Amino acid sequence: MKRSSGDLLPDTIAEKGSARCNGVLTGLLLAVSLLPLLLGGCQSIPFLGYGTANPGDRLPASAKGGEGPGINPLELQALVMGMADDYSSDMAEIVYLMLKPSARTPEERVLAQSYIRNSFGASTDIAAGQNPEVGFLDLLVLISLQRASFERHWMPEVWGEARGRPALERLKKLEADMWHRSAFLLNEQQRGMLRHLIDEWLANNPDRFVVELVRFDQFDDARYIINPEKRAAARGLLKEVGEAVNAIDDAMLLAERALWYSGRLSFILGQQAELTTYRILSDPQIEETLTAISGYYEVFDRGVKAVELFPELWRVQQLKLEDAVTAEREAAIDHFFQRLHDERKLVIRDTSALIDQLFWRLLVIIGVLFLIFLFVRFIPRFQRSAGANKPTG
C-alpha cells in the first residue's frame, strides 16, 4: 500500500522526529552521566571534550582502523557525524540564502522553514543512531531522495524554475559530495546497488514528496519496494556493510553520540521555535488580527507624529495669534483715529457753521445797535432844529 505525501506532513515529521530525538537524547545523556564508571581510566576520555565538532577526528592513531581488515566504528561514526554536519550546513545555506529570501507568501516561508527543520532533524536523528553503518546508508538515502523530490515536485510546483534552480544545483552538488565520501565504506558495486535501490523506491512511490523520514530499512519493506529481489538486495547490502565494521565498546560510541547530539540540540529547538512562529503568523485569523493591529499602529503612529509636531504647531499657532492680535490692534487703532478724524471734521464743520451764524447775528445786532445809536443821536437834534424853525405867533 502506497502512502501519499499527505501521510507525512511536516507536523507529523516534527512530532515523530521530536519523540525519537527526545528518547535518544534521554538515553545518551544517561550514558554520559555514567561514562566515567563505564570507561574508568580509558585513554580516550581526554578527546571527549564538550563542543568537539567530530569527536572521531581526534582519536589517537591506535584507535583508528585498529588491527585487521575491518573499519573502526568510531572512525565511521565520526565520518557520519561530519557528513551530517556538512549536510545541515548546506541545507541551511540553501534555505536561508536561496529559498527564504525569494519567498513571496507566508505559506512559502513556512514551507522553507519546515524544510530546514525537517532536514536538520533527520540528519541529526540519523547521525545519533546506534549503528553508524546504518546511519551512513541513511544519509545517502536522505540526500538522494531530497534532491529527487525537490526536482520532481517542490521546484516545479512551488518555487518555480527561476527561484528553485539555484537550490537544486546546490542539492546536486551536495549529493555528489556525499556519494564521493561514500567510498570510505562502500565499493563501486555496493554504491551502484544503493543507487539502484533508491531509484526503485522512487519508482514505487511517485506520490511521496516529504522524504525526511525515509530510511534505508524501508528498502526491505514490501510496502515501499514491491520487487522481492530488490528487498533481498537491500538486506544483503546492509549485511555486507555491517560485516565490514569492527566490533567496539558500545559505551564509547554512545558517549560520542551524546556529546555530538547535545551540541546540536539547541539548533533543533531553535528551528522548531522559528517554524512554530512562522506557522502561527501565517494562520488566517492571526493575519486578520495583525492587520487590525497594524491599523491601530497606523493610528497610533499618526498620534505620535501629531504629538511630535505639537510644539511646532503650537509655535505656528502662537505666531498666527500674535499676528492676528497685532492686526486687530492696528485695525482698532486705525478705526479709532479714523472716527476721531471724522468727529473732528464734524466738530470743525459744526463749529464753523455756528461761528458763521454767530457772526451774522452779531452783525445784525451791531447794525441794530448802530441804528439805535443813530436814532438816539440824531432825533433830538432834528427835533431842536424843527422847533427853531417853527414861526412864533
What are the tens digits of pLDDT across the range 260-285? 566 556 556 765 776 677 666 666 76
pLDDT in tens, 237-253: 777 766 655 544 455 55
Task: Name which residue leads in pLDDT, 27 or 118.
Answer: 118
Q: Is residue 34 part of a domain?
A: yes
* Domain membership of residue 340 as a residue range: 285-382
Q: Is residue 387 part of a domain?
A: no
Do 316 and 200 fall within a single domain?
A: no
Instruction: Report the percent of the chain where pLDDT is more than 90.
Output: 25
Given a cut of 90, whether residue 99 has pLDDT beyond it is: yes
Do 252 and 360 fall within a single domain?
A: no
pLDDT in tens, 57-97: 333 333 333 333 457 777 888 899 899 999 999 999 999 99
Do 216 and 290 fall within a single domain?
A: no
The answer to whether the CB of 114 falls within 8 A of the CB of 10 is yes
Given a cut of 80, whether residue 213 has pLDDT beyond it is: yes
Do 14 and 130 fall within a single domain?
A: yes
The answer to whether the CB of 213 falls within 8 A of the CB of 123 is no
- Which pLDDT belongs to residue 262? 60
Do 200 and 230 fall within a single domain?
A: yes
Residue 186 zone, left/alpha/beta (φ > 0; ψ -120 to 50; rest): beta
- Which pLDDT belongs to residue 139? 94
Which of 244, 260, 282 is the last residue in one of the domains? 282
175-181: average pLDDT: 95
The answer to whether the CB of 106 falls within 8 A of the CB of 281 is yes
Q: Is residue 389 part of a domain?
A: no
Do 166 and 57 fall within a single domain?
A: yes
Do 153 and 256 fall within a single domain?
A: yes
CA distance 32 to 16: 24
CA distance 42 to 291: 62
- Which pLDDT belongs to residue 257? 57
Do 49 and 191 fall within a single domain?
A: yes
Q: What is the rounded average pLDDT for all residues in the chain?
A: 74
Which of 267, 282, 297 is the last residue in one of the domains? 282
The answer to whether the CB of 211 falls within 8 A of the CB of 9 is no
Do 293 and 267 fall within a single domain?
A: no
Neighbours of 364 (CB within 10 A): 10
Which of 225, 254, 282 is the last residue in one of the domains? 282
Do 197 and 335 fall within a single domain?
A: no
Q: How many domains does the chain have?
A: 2
Q: Is residue 309 part of a domain?
A: yes
The answer to whether the CB of 142 falls within 8 A of the CB of 126 is yes
The answer to whether the CB of 120 falls within 8 A of the CB of 268 is yes
Q: Is residue 393 part of a domain?
A: no
Do 105 and 151 fall within a single domain?
A: yes
Do 216 and 324 fall within a single domain?
A: no
- Which pLDDT belongs to residue 8? 40
The answer to whether the CB of 99 falls within 8 A of the CB of 167 is yes
- Which pLDDT belongs to residue 256? 56
pLDDT in tens, 327-358: 888 888 888 888 888 888 888 888 888 888 88
Q: Which long-range contacts (CB under 8 A, 24 or more apart) does 171-177 make?
A: 171/94, 171/143, 171/146, 171/147, 172/147, 174/86, 174/87, 174/90, 174/91, 174/143, 174/147, 175/143, 175/144, 175/147, 177/86
- Helices marked H in the chain — which ranges? 10-33, 35-39, 73-94, 100-102, 106-127, 132-149, 160-181, 188-204, 228-243, 250-281, 284-388
Amino acid at 38: L
Q: Is residue 390 part of a domain?
A: no
Q: Is residue 52 part of a domain?
A: yes
pLDDT in tens, 182-204: 988 899 999 999 999 999 999 99
Q: Is residue 391 part of a domain?
A: no
- Which pLDDT belongs to residue 35? 40
pLDDT in tens, 360-392: 888 888 888 888 887 887 777 777 676 666 665
